[in-house]
Amino acid sequence: MLGFFDSGLGGLAVLKEVEKAMPQYSYIYLGDNARTPYGSHSHDTIYKFTRQGVAYLFKKGAEVVILACNTASSSALRRIQQEFLPKYYPKNKVLGIIIPTAEEVISKTKTGEIGILATEATVHSFAYPKEITKMDESLRVHQQAGTLLVPIIEAGELDWDGLDSIIKKYLNELFERSKKIDTLVLACTHYALIEDKIRKHTPSKVQIISQGQIVAQKLKEYLERHPEIESRLKKSNRRDFYSTEDSWRVRNLFKLFYGRPVEIKKISLE
């Protein structure tokens, strides 16, 4: 199976696009909704939480796990690949979503100036500036933490009157740093639900990069390059959804991100 892990439910927007591109596989999704958001936690705590989630998905049969969460990808992926997998799951793979996104944004920018809207943890990790400038050191990357956005989205307050003013404030701060930014990365999968509001307050000349379709295409290419991994994946069209919290809020967010209601199995990672 292909496993997807997120601190909450934003990763469902990525899973939905991957399913469209590769419907033949079986998928298992885990959202750590009881402990979301991860963005304000320390890197060590994010690593601990992510490691627990990944281990659970492997025990449930996942061969490959995608960290469909920018915070987990930026703060925990490298340690999981270097420390956790070799010791406990040497035959399994854990992939992030930052490098595929970085590759895409580099191909899109014309001015060479890129904006990143992300959680505090992703911003403080400097994961995007590091990956983007590693590929092209001439590019300039400007970051902005959207600190309040994930808590508002997780609370289901998408129609709250104050949300627009908060988005506008963050974007104004970002574009004040440079008028040359022509590409904006929504570097948190939760932001897919408010992309229309973000677009409303973004200059029309600026391209917005959302991650679902990018990750779907890159994952498809990865499996084509690695038939030894692809051959181990089940093709039974099975879908399993797990959450560390089951509540009306979580069920509503599952429906919003995934597009339809699903049966949620509640589990504990502690």
Domain chopping of the chain, boundaries: 2-97+213-266, 98-211
Model confidence over 136-180: pLDDT tens digits? Answer: 999 999 999 999 998 898 888 889 999 999 999 999 999 999 999
Residue 47, pLDDT score: 96
Strand 64-67 to strand 113-118: parallel, antiparallel, or no bridges (unpaired)? unpaired
Residue 156, pLDDT score: 82
How many other C-beta atoms are found inside a 10 Å radius of the C-beta of residue 236? 10
Rounded percentage of the chain residues whose pLDDT exceeds 90:
79
Residue 132, pLDDT score: 97
The DSSP H or E segment spanning 121 is helix 120-125
- The catalytically annotated residue of 65, 69, 121, 127 is 69
Greatest CA separation for the chain = 51
| Residue scoring higher pLDDT (129 or 41) | 129
Tell me the CA distances in angstroms from 2 to 28, 39, 235, 261, one per residue in order: 6, 25, 10, 20
Tell me: pLDDT of 256 over 90. Answer: no
CB contact at 8 A, 207 and 186:
no
Q: Report how far residue 265's alpha carbon sits from residue 171's, in angstroms, rounded to the nearest whole number.
A: 37
DSSP E strands, 139-256: 140-145, 183-186, 207-209, 239-243
- The catalytically annotated residue of 97, 188, 198, 214 is 188
Residue 214, pLDDT score: 92
Average pLDDT on 45-73 reads 96
Residue 40, pLDDT score: 80
CATH number for the segment(s) 98-211: 3.40.50.1860
Per the annotation, the verdict on 40 as an active-site residue is no
Residue 168, pLDDT score: 97
Mean residue pLDDT across the chain? 94
Average pLDDT on 21-29 reads 96
Average pLDDT on 252-259 reads 89
Per the annotation, the verdict on 188 as an active-site residue is yes
2-97+213-266 maps to CATH 3.40.50.1860: yes
